[in-house]
Amino acid sequence: MEQEDTVRAVQESTPSKGLSFRGLVEVFYKPSTFFDELKNHPKVLIPYIVVAILLFAFFAATIDIVYEMQVNSPQFQAQLQGQPVTPQIERIMKYQILIGGPIVILLIPLVAALLGLFWGNFVFAGKARFKQLLSVMLYGEIINTIGMIVILPMILVKKSILVSLSLGILAASKGPDSILYLALSKIDVFLIWELIAIGIGLSIIYGVPRNKGYTMSVLSMGMLSILHVVFSAIGKMIF
C-alpha cells in the first residue's frame, strides 16, 4: 500500500512530456483529462506566448478595418469637430490598435484569475494557488482566441469587424457602439465554450462538483464580459 502511494506521488510530481503544448489542443476536446494533469503542473508561459502571438496576428490583419471603424464612429467625428485626421493621429491610432488591443486582452486572464481566487478561496472556502487559476484561465482564453482567428477570413472578406459567431449579428446594423449589439455579442459560441472549459478546470482545481465549477467560471471570466456591458451602458448614459 505504501509503495502504491509512493508511486502515485512520484507520478503526480512528474509532468507528462509536452504538457504545455499538448494543452493548446487538448483543452478543446478532453479538458477534464488535461486539467486533471495541469492541477499539479500549472503552465503559464507557453499559453501566454501563444495567445499573444495569435492576438498580434489578428490585430495586424484587421488594423485598417478597426481604424476605419473608429474614425467613422459618431463619437470620434464629434471630437474632430470637422477637422481632418492628420497622418500623426492616424499613426498613433494604429499603434494603439496594434499594441493596445492585444495588451488589454492579455490582461483578462490575470483579472479573471484574481476573481477566481476571490470566489474560490474566500467565498467558497476552497484552496488553490494563483498560478493554478491563471493557468486554467489562459488555456480557456486559447479557445476564445482561436475563435477570433476562425472568423478572421470573414472579417477580411466583409471588411467589417462586426462579424462573429454570436447573437450580435442580430444587432449588427445598430453598430459596434450599440449596447444591444455589445450584450448579444457576449452570447458567442467560443466564449460559451471557453466558460465551460474554465468551469471544468476550476472544478478539478478545487475538487468541487462540476456545477460549482461552472458557477465560479461565470463569476470570474464571465463576470468580465458582464461588467464590460454594464460599464459601457453607464458610460453611454453619462456621456
**185 within a domain of the structure (yes/no):** yes
**13 within a domain of the structure (yes/no):** no
**173 within a domain of the structure (yes/no):** yes
Q: Which of 16, 18, 17 is nearest to 46 (CA)?
A: 18
**102 within a domain of the structure (yes/no):** yes
In angstroms, the Cα distances linking 218 to 53, 91, 116, 195, 228 are 26, 38, 9, 7, 14
What pLDDT, on a 0 to 100 scale, did the predictor assign at position 234? 77
**72 within a domain of the structure (yes/no):** yes
Q: Is 230 a residue whose pLDDT tops 70?
A: yes
Q: Are 54 and 148 in contact (CB under 8 A)?
A: yes
**Number of structural domains in the chain:** 1
Give the percent of the chain with pLDDT over 70.
90
**134 within a domain of the structure (yes/no):** yes
**123 within a domain of the structure (yes/no):** yes
In angstroms, the Cα distances linking 124 to 117, 156, 214 are 10, 45, 13
Tens digit of each residue's pLDDT (9 = 90 or more) over 52-61: 999 999 999 9
What pLDDT, on a 0 to 100 scale, did the predictor assign at position 10? 43
* Coil vs helix vs strand at 151: helix
What pLDDT, on a 0 to 100 scale, did the predictor assign at position 173? 75
What pLDDT, on a 0 to 100 scale, did the predictor assign at position 239? 58
Tens digit of each residue's pLDDT (9 = 90 or more) over 87-131: 888 898 899 999 999 999 999 999 999 999 999 999 998 999 999
**23 within a domain of the structure (yes/no):** no
* Coil vs helix vs strand at 188: strand
Q: Which domain holds residue 137?
A: 30-234
Range among 9-18, 69-78, 126-135, 169-178 rated most confident? 126-135
> Which H/E stretch holds residue 154?
helix 130-158
Question: Phi and psi (nearest 5°) for 111?
Answer: -65, -40
How many angstroms from the chain centroid is the CA of residue 205? 19
Tens digit of each residue's pLDDT (9 = 90 or more) over 127-160: 999 999 999 999 999 999 999 999 999 999 999 8
